Structure 1
């Protein structure tokens, strides 16, 4: 047991006498070791993925458990195959308590050769026809060593196991459980705490819409429903992008043809970049335009750089594209959208602007940060960048359509799946949506947010699992709840998505 005591001594020194050695949770070291931890537990323990587990186990592994004694590598590996993963009708699961995770680097002559990782975790059991239930909580200490550029866990100490506290209960979301939290009261509590009137949630699993859930009120004492209409701001842009991709697929439009062939704005008619602007540049936010011309000093549209040379978010680009398409095809963009997208997939409650078709009694009125309603403006003309009016169910149908190929040819769908532009480290853009690659489990996410004062929305899909989420909130504070929900539904993948977008 000397090694066991040595590890405790190291941690004690680090945490008490030299707490400055702890690394930040957004550091590369912290992130790398959190991913390594997930190979042991999320992949190995939870999913019985032996290949992933083997990648991180050191050949001289020592495992110390305060109730079950010690194990070497061979014994540790056998416990997974013969015990943990042998009975799928009585399957244990482990969930990390994220806020407890800490990492302390180990150095030699200034070079990192290893690290100590500490934290708490909760263990659950899944039985047939029963809710997932917690069985115990405990603490762990991992000693990691860096060998040939690969992190290997050399010593694991699992200790202080005891019954779970009420705090943890059954808060765990496995893939087969379509519950957001342990009960609906928790969501209602969070809405009240953050002065958020409502949230509408669309859940997509395995490429199909599984569930629409709504909580709170569209306005005072008037409950939200599945038919409630939200103004989703910039979530308009992915809709526009796929309408355009449908036109490209049928040969009515081109991805790489100069847009100037069909439309030229007076403000840029003499620009040297005029004929370089293409639809690909616009849909991937490489147009060179500002977000909106009215936000510039002279209130005029201009190229701020050559199209295609770098990334810059632009609503003006999408509006420019709408005008060009309307001029060539000679039909209003909203009519084209109804024909190519809304009608075929049953988006019956989606419109680009207010009309007599919209039932105002179903509108989720925007609210400020104090939970007070805001007078909303009724836009009566289409904007390809903003102001789309839709329901969580309709937008979820759209995401399902996208996940399943959107009825596009393989060639054109591949253009959507491709990285077109780089925003910053870890965040790219495809055609019309933000793209996050190299997520845990080799996952790729496509997402977009929408935010005007008093409304916050997000749409998110995962390429490999074909899971997705739609979150609409009629509140300036809506983003507070996004982070919690995304992490709950998508686990480690969701946590990484949230982290990258908060950096």
Structure 2
């Protein structure tokens, strides 16, 4: 009997004897092993971080592959370095754990856990140069994790039943829901909503992940979308302008002046145009100032500076003139006409808390849900992928806006950086040859969101995530779904 056979036989005998002891997903051991798996593959294998991988392997590590044979730790590391990771800029192989395929079994000695067996399925994606990732194969695996000096190390790995994955040339990880779910899990994204716009229509609405109670997140789940509130407020104002009830360049002090700046004559210069293009001269928020008071940091209309205070200033002027709250105006002008039944500025009696997505920090700790009772023009809108996707479609089509108002909205009001400008309520990317994108992002505790539309081609994407570092999935999604135009947007943001 060979050395490898001597190992494998007792290994599988042990496995058969502990089937009854499979861990549930809520068990601490299950979570620990899944976390180790994610670190080993996401932070090591998939990124060619050989140091990270090696640190997680036992010195007695053994690898068994049904096509490549047996390797000890040294040979495994050398072959990995000189093979799959020889030229990561031209070739990459990514391993993705198949969601719900994992089984974890504890191993006991004298009543104490000393090891754990992990069974599961995994998929493999290949990327060559600038080409999109493509699904190329799948296999089963068994891992033996052991405790060495109170640290979990990978002792044995068996990868078997390898076979090509039947796929079309255009199928990628993003076209496979199971693979997408696994990819998000690798990136520690608890929940993500995705809306894909093609041909001026919302073609896909998907939500991945689980609620705080462990139930699959429904497609109509509500997210707090942070600053994606601002485009909605902007359209409220632009709709009123289109109806002849509001003026883009009328001084706002006709209706409202903040007490903090009433003695500064520059308040007389403030207009809706300056607010929507972030040229008020205000800080983002007054609480960022030492004295917590609103002030001008430069003359209004002279340059760009992102400001939530500006939008709140506009809200108070609108509410003063029309005698209605912002959420009432939005319902009449936007939400009801577009049938955005799951969108609101405030938390009211119609809010379904069971569908509200909880936000998390990078360590997986949940933030408390803030039940906003007063509308904020710049922040805290809660909505669904479907509602906001349809809203963005109405934007790209200029729906319910007079043509001249739409042209003002997409006009480059002020430069933000090379290739990027502020319009009215939206960021504008100049993609060359007459092509442009309208976009806005949102970032608060437990939420990272972005929406992009390409009016000329009728394409777009809406991404909602519920974690502080959710932005890390933007680039790949934008590149995949928006193609060359998405690549140009990424290049502009990378400058």
Superposition TM-score tier, normalisation by shorter sequence: 0.5 to 0.7
Given that residues 318 and 384 in structure 1 are in contact (C-alpha distance below 8 angstroms), is that contact kept between their aligned partners in structure 2? yes
1:319 and 1:170 map into 2 onto residues whose CA distance is: 50
2:89 and 2:371 map into 1 onto residues whose CA distance is: 43
Offset, 1:98: 11
More deviation in 216-225 or 343-352?
Answer: 216-225
Offset, 1:281: 0.4
1:469 aligns with 2:441: no
Given that residues 204 and 467 in structure 1 are in contact (C-alpha distance below 8 angstroms), is that contact kept between their aligned partners in structure 2? yes
1:294 aligns with 2:287: yes
1:396 aligns with 2:389: yes
Describe how 1:158-173 pairs up with structure 2 within 5 A. 172=170
1:445–1:166 distance in 2 versus 1, CA, 3 Å = farther
For residue 433 of structure 1, the aligned residue among 418, 426, 435 is: 426
1:123 and 1:197 map into 2 onto residues whose CA distance is: 24
Given that residues 209 and 217 in structure 2 are in contact (C-alpha distance below 8 angstroms), is that contact kept between their aligned partners in structure 1? yes
Offset, 1:404: 1.4
Offset, 1:231: 0.4
More deviation in 364-373 or 387-396?
Answer: 364-373
Offset, 1:442: 4.4
1:391 and 1:257 map into 2 onto residues whose CA distance is: 34
CA deviation profile, 1:174-217 (whole Å, cap 9, x unmatched): xxxxx872422221122111211111111111111111011111
TM-score (normalizing by structure 2): 0.66
Offset, 1:99: 4.6
1:180 and 1:417 map into 2 onto residues whose CA distance is: 34
Note the residue ranges of structure 2 that are not aligned, 5 or more in a row: 1-86, 92-127, 137-162
1:369–1:490 distance in 2 versus 1, CA, 3 Å = same
2:363 and 2:180 map into 1 onto residues whose CA distance is: 18
What is the root-mean-square deviation of aligned Cα atoms in Å?
2.6
1:436–1:345 distance in 2 versus 1, CA, 3 Å = same
What residue in structure 1 maps to residue 29 of structure 2?
none
SS at match of 1:223: coil
Given that residues 132 and 480 in structure 2 are in contact (C-alpha distance below 8 angstroms), is that contact kept between their aligned partners in structure 1? no
SS at match of 1:418: coil
1:180–1:309 distance in 2 versus 1, CA, 3 Å = farther
1:482 aligns with 2:486: no
Given that residues 268 and 302 in structure 1 are in contact (C-alpha distance below 8 angstroms), is that contact kept between their aligned partners in structure 2? yes
Structure 1 runs, 4 residues or longer, greater than 4 Å off: 119-124, 165-171
Note the residue ranges of structure 1 that are not aligned, 5 or more in a row: 1-96, 102-118, 125-131, 135-164, 174-178
Given that residues 135 and 173 in structure 2 are in contact (C-alpha distance below 8 angstroms), is that contact kept between their aligned partners in structure 1? no
TM-score (normalizing by structure 1): 0.65
What residue in structure 2 maps to residue 455 of structure 1?
447
What residue in structure 2 maps to residue 67 of structure 1?
none
What residue in structure 2 maps to residue 344 of structure 1?
337
Given that residues 243 and 341 in structure 1 are in contact (C-alpha distance below 8 angstroms), is that contact kept between their aligned partners in structure 2? yes
Given that residues 202 and 393 in structure 1 are in contact (C-alpha distance below 8 angstroms), is that contact kept between their aligned partners in structure 2? yes
1:99–1:458 distance in 2 versus 1, CA, 3 Å = farther
Offset, 1:443: 2.2
